[in-house]
């Protein structure tokens, strides 16, 4: 009698192997295939466009050891359970295992696909009891996406390459995201700030001091130029005139209004909202959020030999929470915080599409594992993210917070002032999400007809602000809003833009590079629809329809390819034209070798000025754009003197970038790096300088005020423009190196710190 063969469970990561082995015990063999084993080869199109878009998959070379190992285990196994993640990628990996390993071994009869949203004993055992077949529609949706991206990348990148003479690449979704970032940059550049004034008063009642703002004057509402329907105080003179007409008047309470406002908790986390919250609150990049979440999902050792997945699957766009989890959460709230903190009705959320509804929101696998109870078993990042998820999930079933809002209108001559107060009368879900607490502001007791004393009245200058640059959080929100991403694609899309240097990061903001803007303009300009938000969103929907079995993957690809081919014709010409349009002649700067005007050109390192007589004259010069005007760097640094011999310094470009060298070279070999202006305003009061990079006599870099020697403000660490969310400081500094880089606030006693991925 032969022994009964051990069943084999295949998952895609080592961490999952560890957790699932613990759960299933020695009766099962658990192995990891470490992600995809086959893929399209890295060179060539590898898609048979003529024959139904059949992809020519190949085994991934680096995976040969893993492949051999899986093959050997498969031969010895009884039943084979494919337990890859519950989404398109996981389904595709399972299918590849079946097609490329199982079928090759002639052994797929005992094959079972199992999925679970959480790696807990109960969920895994239930899945083993309820295996299913591979869902071919999910596999086809994954296949269609891979081929779509390949069709774009391999047909468009070479044209881009011809036009720019260096290796750039085009991506489908990533180009649309890049376009969104570049469009915003153009808006910011076009933006002209308009100054305006506001008037605020410091008043007192029974020696309690409070603030009030002028909101109406002579019956007209006062506001900012952004609001077309209000009166704008446009100058200091106008503001002073109003102040003079008001300040001698009696300040009398005209009305007191009280209302109670309910604040409801936010919805459960899905991938996009988790990435946004982790970016805003913890300073995590989307990529970091996903990798920390994955560790929590795949299982942690939480003492006593217990290894368990702490959260549900992190790639999801369903806000649904399983009924059993809901009742545990409600029981927990009732017990821990009391009945009045429990929301009367159960809050339930559903996904927009039926296909997504099999998934669940991102939640803790057990509400009883409070963040503090497992703190000592997990890393600081894991703890912070877990706490965010745990709190949000509990908050969903908690009662709304109640805030009492007080609005007092105070009349003074022709002016009407408004003072507002807020008091939290019931904290509700704020109890577990203190970061959402609204600010409280006390007002003294006042009633209609009361006279209050004016202590101070002043005009404050403001100016209208350009729309803000995107952060990872706001870009993910935008991508989700317009429908051009899915849970598995937000983080990789942003990473690609950063890796290809189409976008750089300053603090948390994303800024397009010269190259990024050129690529976006050329691609969107020559391929119109293909890289439009609407079209890309429709493609995402088509992929969803394939997944739901309502569309045929070959039809979707064929429609797309026809469209793409239409635009491929003549694309090269159009790209060339767009690039030419951007390579404008700067007639106010003449070549110092031949007298021809210089023009803006694009190279590997971004934009530079080249002689318009090229190729007869090959003169090139670095420049900077300041308020729409082109300035040669040599012009900017013409007063720079050599530290060693006092001769003039000249701008040189080389393999290591641009630097200043002594004009007496080779007799004097002194060089120094270009003063890099960080753009951060000097924080010293009354100083209008900016912080620029400098070197000490001993060549150590520091950042000092551009108004030196009038202002001697200086820092060792590089400052970046980013507002401190804790104390409101206008910049943060970079500390640490490599993957340990952080942004830190230098305000004494503030202590704010966040993760940093920029340079």
Residues identified as active-site: 313
Encoded tokens for 4: 């009964």
Q: Measured from the CB of residue 724, what is the shortest distance to Zn ion in angstroms? A: 3
Q: DSSP label at 37?
A: S
Q: Measured from the CB of residue 328, what is the shortest distance to Zn ion in angstroms? A: 39
The C-alpha angle with vertex 593 and arms to 589 and 597, in degrees rounded to 5, equals: 30
- Rounded to 10 deg, the angle between the 490-499 and 472-482 helix axes is 130
Inter-residue contact 272 to 476 (CB < 8 Å): yes
Q: Measured from the CB of residue 677, what is the shortest distance to Zn ion in angstroms? A: 13
Encoded tokens for 227: 């609001």
Question: Which residue has 């009732």 as its token pair?
Answer: 334
Inter-residue contact 45 to 56 (CB < 8 Å): no
Instruction: Give me the helices (H) in 483-630, please.
Output: 490-499, 514-527, 533-547, 553-568, 571-582
Q: Measured from the CB of residue 243, what is the shortest distance to Zn ion in angstroms? A: 31
Phi, psi of 660 (to 5 degrees): -105, 135
How far is Cα 752 from Cα 674, in angstroms, rounded to an integer? 31
Residue with Cβ nearer Zn ion (533 or 650): 650
Residue with Cβ nearer Zn ion (239 or 609): 609
Residue with Cβ nearer Zn ion (191 or 716): 716
Question: Which residue has 């779509």 as its token pair?
Answer: 148
Of all helices (H) and strands (E), which one includes residue 505? strand 503-506
Q: Measured from the CB of residue 680, what is the shortest distance to Zn ion in angstroms? A: 11
Q: Given the DSSP bridges, would you call strands 8-11 and 80-82 parallel, antiparallel or unpaired?
A: parallel
Give the SS3 label for residue 54.
Answer: strand
Inter-residue contact 111 to 82 (CB < 8 Å): yes
Distance from the first to the final alpha carbon of the chain: 66
Q: In which region does residue 595 sit, left (phi positive, over 0), alpha (psi from -120 to 50) or beta (all else)?
A: left
Encoded tokens for 63: 């995976």
Long-range contact pairs involving 621-629 (C-beta distance under 8 Å, separation at least 24): 621/651, 622/651, 622/653, 622/658, 623/589, 628/189
How far is Cα 313 from Cα 321, in angstroms, rounded to an integer? 12
Provide Rg for the chain, Cα atoms.
Answer: 31
CA atoms within 13 A on the CB side of 616: 7
Residue with Cβ nearer Zn ion (129 or 685): 685
Residue with Cβ nearer Zn ion (346 or 668): 668
Residue with Cβ nearer Zn ion (636 or 750): 750
Question: Which residue has 């003294």 as its token pair?
Answer: 444
CA atoms within 13 A on the CB side of 584: 7
Total residue count of the chain as it appears in this document: 759
Q: Measured from the CB of residue 644, what is the shortest distance to Zn ion in angstroms? A: 5
Q: Measured from the CB of residue 714, what is the shortest distance to Zn ion in angstroms? A: 9
Residue with Cβ nearer Zn ion (482 or 647): 647
Q: Measured from the CB of residue 667, what is the shortest distance to Zn ion in angstroms? A: 8
Q: Given the DSSP bridges, would you call strands 220-221 and 251-263 parallel, antiparallel or unpaired?
A: unpaired
Q: Measured from the CB of residue 731, what is the shortest distance to Zn ion in angstroms? A: 10
Residue with Cβ nearer Zn ion (591 or 651): 591
Q: Measured from the CB of residue 184, what is the shortest distance to Zn ion in angstroms? A: 26
How far is Cα 537 from Cα 172, in angstroms, rounded to an integer? 11
How far is Cα 253 from Cα 412, in angstroms, rounded to an integer? 9
Who's near 553: CB < 8 A, 6+ residues apart? 53, 140, 141, 143, 144, 546
Inter-residue contact 171 to 503 (CB < 8 Å): no
Inter-residue contact 32 to 17 (CB < 8 Å): yes
Cβ-in-10-Å burial (0-12, 13-18, 19+) of 663 comes to middle
The C-alpha angle with vertex 389 and arms to 293 and 361, in degrees rounded to 5, equals: 80
Q: Measured from the CB of residue 622, what is the shortest distance to Zn ion in angstroms? A: 16
Residue with Cβ nearer Zn ion (636 or 715): 715
Residue with Cβ nearer Zn ion (458 or 712): 712
The contact set with Zn ion (CB under 5 A) reads 591, 593-594, 596, 611, 613, 617, 619, 642, 644-645, 647, 662, 664, 668, 670, 682, 684, 687, 689, 705, 707, 711, 713, 724, 726-727, 729, 745, 747, 750, 752
How far is Cα 451 from Cα 426, in angstroms, rounded to an integer? 31
> 316, 301, 310, 289: which is closest to 367 by C-alpha?
310
Residue with Cβ nearer Zn ion (318 or 471): 471
Q: Measured from the CB of residue 525, what is the shortest distance to Zn ion in angstroms? A: 29
Give the SS3 label for residue 674.
Answer: coil
Inter-residue contact 367 to 328 (CB < 8 Å): yes
Residue with Cβ nearer Zn ion (4 or 699): 699
Residue with Cβ nearer Zn ion (59 or 752): 752
How far is Cα 50 from Cα 370, in angstroms, rounded to an integer? 57
């Amino acid at each position: 009698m032969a022994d009964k063969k051990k069943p084999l469970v295949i998952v895609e990561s080592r961490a999952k192997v560890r957790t699932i082995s613990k759960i299933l015990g020695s009766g099962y063999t658990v192995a990891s295939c470490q992600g995809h084993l086959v893929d399209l080869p890295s060179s060539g199109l590898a898609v048979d466009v003529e024959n139904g878009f059949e992809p020519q998959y190949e085994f991934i070379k680096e995976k040969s050891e893993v492949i051999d190992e899986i093959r050997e285990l498969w031969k010895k196994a009884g039943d084979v359970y494919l337990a890859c993640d519950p989404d398109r990628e996981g389904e595709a990996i399972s299918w590849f295992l079946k097609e490329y390993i199982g079928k090759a071994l002639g052994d797929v009869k005992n094959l079972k696909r199992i999925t679970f949203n959480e790696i807990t004993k109960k969920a895994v055992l239930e899945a083993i009891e309820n295996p299913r077949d591979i869902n071919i529609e999910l596999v086809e949706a994954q296949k269609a996406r891979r081929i779509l991206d390949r069709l774009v990348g391999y047909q468009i990148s070479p044209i881009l390459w011809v036009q720019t003479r260096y290796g750039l690449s085009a991506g489908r979704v990533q180009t649309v995201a890049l376009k969104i970032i570049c469009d915003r940059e153009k808006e910011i550049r076009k933006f002209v700030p308009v100054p305006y004034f506001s008037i605020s008063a410091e008043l007192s009642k029974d020696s309690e001091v409070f603030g009030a703002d002028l909101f109406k004057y002579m019956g007209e509402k006062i506001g900012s130029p952004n609001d077309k329907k209000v009166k704008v105080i446009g100058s200091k003179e106008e503001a002073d005139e109003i102040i003079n007409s008001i300040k001698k008047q009696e300040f009398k309470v005209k009305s007191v209004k009280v209302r109670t406002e309910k604040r409801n908790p936010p919805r459960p986390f899905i991938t996009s909202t988790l990435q946004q919250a982790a970016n805003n609150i913890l300073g995590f990049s989307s990529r970091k959020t996903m990798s920390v979440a994955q560790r929590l999902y795949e299982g942690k050792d939480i003492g006593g030999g217990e290894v368990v997945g702490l959260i549900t699957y992190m790639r999801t766009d369903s806000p649904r929470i399983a009924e059993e989890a809901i009742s545990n959460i409600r029981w927990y709230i009732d017990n821990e915080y009391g009945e009045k903190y429990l929301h009367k009705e159960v809050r339930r959320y559903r996904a927009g599409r039926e296909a997504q509804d099999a998934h669940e929101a991102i939640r803790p696998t057990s509400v009883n594992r409070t963040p503090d109870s497992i703190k000592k078993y997990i890393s600081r990042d894991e703890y912070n993210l877990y706490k965010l998820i745990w709190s949000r999930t509990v908050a969903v079933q908690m009662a709304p917070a109640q805030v009492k809002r007080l609005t007092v209108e105070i009349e003074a001559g022709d002016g009407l002032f408004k003072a507002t107060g807020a008091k939290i009368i019931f904290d509700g879900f704020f109890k577990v999400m203190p970061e959402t607490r609204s600010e409280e502001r006390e007002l003294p007791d006042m009633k209609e007809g009361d006279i209050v004393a004016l202590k101070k009245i002043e005009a404050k200058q403001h100016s209208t602000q350009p729309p803000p640059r995107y952060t990872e959080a706001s870009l993910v929100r935008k991508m989700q809003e317009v429908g051009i991403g899915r849970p598995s694609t937000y983080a990789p899309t942003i990473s690609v833009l950063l890796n290809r240097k189409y976008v750089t990061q300053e603090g948390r903001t994303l800024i397009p590079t010269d190259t990024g803007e050129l690529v976006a303009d050329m691609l969107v300009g020559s391929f119109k629809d293909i890289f439009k938000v609407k079209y890309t969103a429709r493609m995402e929907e088509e992929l969803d329809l394939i997944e739901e079995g309502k569309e045929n993957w070959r039809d979707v690809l064929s429609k797309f390819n026809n469209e793409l081919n239409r635009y491929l014709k003549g694309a090269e010409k159009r790209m060339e034209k767009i690039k030419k349009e951007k390579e404008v002649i700067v007639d106010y700067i003449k070549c110092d070798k031949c007298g021809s005007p210089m023009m803006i050109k694009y190279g590997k390192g971004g934009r530079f000025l080249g002689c318009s007589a090229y190729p007869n004259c090959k003169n090139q010069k670095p420049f900077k754009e300041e308020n729409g005007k082109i300035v040669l760097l040599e012009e900017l640094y013409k007063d720079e003197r050599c530290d060693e011999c006092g001769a003039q310094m000249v701008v040189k470009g080389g393999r290591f970038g641009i630097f200043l060298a002594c004009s007496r070279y080779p007799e004097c070999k002194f060089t120094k790096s270009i003063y890099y202006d960080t753009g951060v305003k000097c924080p010293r009061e009354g100083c209008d300088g900016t912080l620029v990079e400098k070197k000490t006599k001993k060549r150590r870099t520091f950042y000092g005020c551009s108004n030196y020697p009038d202002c001697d403000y200086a820092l060792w660490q590089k400052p970046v423009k980013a507002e401190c969310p804790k104390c409101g400081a206008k910049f943060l500094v970079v500390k640490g190196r490599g993957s340990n880089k952080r942004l830190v606030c230098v305000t004494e006693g503030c202590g704010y710190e966040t993760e940093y991925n920029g340079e």
